[in-house]
């Protein structure tokens, strides 16, 4: 994907030695949780993304009936303290951003971190595998601008007009105009 990528990042895409890290930023009431799927902490501006070393997977999600379109992020091997924060906080409707930071062969940053996806958290859960004692946290998010793409139900009634614009008298005549036949006079 070349959309929104800087020239140094495009060059790193085709370089012999390159690397990248996924950065996940989740907004909660107690603060913003920033995780780096990398072997070391990554600083972006004033924000520090804490290295988790966890396995990361991101997939697209689409539900046609509700018009939901988004993504699912899953993390394996997350520290139990981070898992507890994610499980205990109110998450529905909160912002999640997934960024990508590119590196060259010397682990130096290539350009600025680029936002890959931004959304509102919709569902979260975790699964524990007792056999190999591993845990997986998954989070489903709706694209941030999806709520603007959903159709809005608009009723042209005086009550709805008063709710939106208190004191407006334009809607009071709607009932009398309903089911009227409008004819056009022809010029002769």
Q: Tell me what pLDDT residue 138 has.
A: 82
Pair type for strands 68-76 and 134-143 = antiparallel
What gap in Å lies between CA 45 and CA 40, rounded to an integer?
16
Q: Tell me what pLDDT residue 132 has.
A: 66
**CATH no. for residue 64?**
2.30.110
| pLDDT exceeds cutoff 80 at 2 | no
Provide the mean pLDDT of the chain. 77
Look-up: residue for tokens 């929104």? 4
Asked if residue 162 belongs to a domain, the reply is no
Asked if residue 156 belongs to a domain, the reply is no
Asked if residue 169 belongs to a domain, the reply is no
Asked if residue 1 belongs to a domain, the reply is no
Asked if residue 166 belongs to a domain, the reply is no
What gap in Å lies between CA 168 and CA 160, rounded to an integer?
11
Read off the pTM: 0.63
Confidence of residue 65 (pLDDT cuts 50, 70, 90): low
Q: Tell me what pLDDT residue 146 has.
A: 54
Asked if residue 163 belongs to a domain, the reply is no
What is the domain range of residue 69? 7-148
Domain count, the chain: 1
Asked if residue 13 belongs to a domain, the reply is yes
Q: pLDDT of 91-118, one tens digit each?
A: 888 899 999 888 888 888 888 888 888 8
Q: pLDDT of 113-165, one tens digit each?
A: 888 888 888 888 877 777 766 677 888 888 876 555 555 566 667 777 777 77
Which residues on adjacent β-strands are paired with residue 161? none
Asked if residue 90 belongs to a domain, the reply is yes
């Amino acid at each position: 994907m070349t959309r929104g990528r800087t020239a140094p990042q495009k060059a790193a895409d085709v370089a012999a030695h390159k690397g990248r890290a996924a950065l996940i930023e989740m907004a909660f009431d107690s603060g913003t949780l920033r995780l780096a799927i990398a072997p070391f902490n990554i600083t972006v501006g004033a924000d520090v993304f804490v290295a988790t070393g966890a396995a990361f997977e991101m997939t697209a999600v689409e539900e046609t009936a509700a018009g939901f379109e988004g993504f699912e992020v899953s993390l394996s091997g997350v520290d139990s303290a981070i898992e507890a924060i994610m499980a205990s906080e109110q998450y529905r409707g909160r912002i999640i951003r997934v960024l990508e930071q590119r590196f060259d062969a010397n682990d130096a940053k290539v350009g600025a971190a680029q936002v890959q996806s931004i959304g509102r958290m919709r569902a979260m859960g975790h699964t524990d595998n007792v056999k190999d004692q591993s845990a997986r946290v998954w989070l489903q998010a709706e694209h941030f601008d999806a709520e603007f793409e959903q159709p809005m139900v608009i009723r042209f009634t005086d009550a709805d007009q008063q709710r939106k614009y208190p004191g407006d008298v334009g809607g009071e005549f709607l009932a009398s105009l309903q089911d009227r036949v409008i004819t056009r006079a022809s010029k002769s």
